[in-house]
Amino acid sequence: MPEILKKFLGLFSEGLNKVKEEKMEEALEKFKEASELSTDLQKKSEEMVEMSELSKFFESDKGKETLKKYAEVYISAENAEKLKEEIKTLNGQIKEVSKSLEDLKKEKENDDKTTTEAFKTINEDISEVEKNLIAKFDELSKKAISRNRE
């Protein structure tokens, strides 16, 4: 088996193992390396005049199945990378919304405190006015009683 084919199959196999381990970034890297080698493999196979182990392998059902699996897994790894980026974006948006909600909660708490303080001040003012009215009423009552006696 030609050395370049061994290297290609080795990288492809490593990529499949990384997919099984759910290490998509590493798998994608292995498949990219294998993809670069596949170009070299194609050139090498075109240069061969006689039928070689490489052409026999890729003409075989096993070779065709291997390339089909390679393509499927490579596409899956690329899709996983895109999904990972989308998840990062969504997580960022979730953090922004959470921060906005937290800010709104703090603002509401501050508004509640301000409202409570305002009502407390109003109640104190009402109590003071009530005391003043009672004192004034007592004063006027005493004056009225003293006039009635006279």
Is residue 118 in a domain?
no
The per-residue pLDDT for range 14-43, each reduced to its tens digit, is: 777 777 777 777 777 877 877 777 777 777
The per-residue pLDDT for range 83-103, each reduced to its tens digit, is: 889 989 999 999 998 899 999
Rounded to whole angstroms, the Cα distance separating 6 from 34 reads: 11
The per-residue pLDDT for range 65-88, each reduced to its tens digit, is: 888 888 888 888 788 888 889 989
In this structure, what token pair is assigned to residue 68?
Answer: 């089909």
Task: Give buried/exposed letters for 88-119 (b at 16+ CB in 10 A, else e).
Answer: eeeeeeeeeeeeeeeeeeeeeeeeeeeeeeee
Residues in Cβ contact with 38 at an 8 Å cutoff, skipping those fewer than 6 apart: 8
Is residue 99 in a domain?
yes
Total domains present in the chain: 1
Domain that holds residue 38: 3-105
**2 by DSSP, 3-state: which?**
coil
Is residue 19 in a domain?
yes
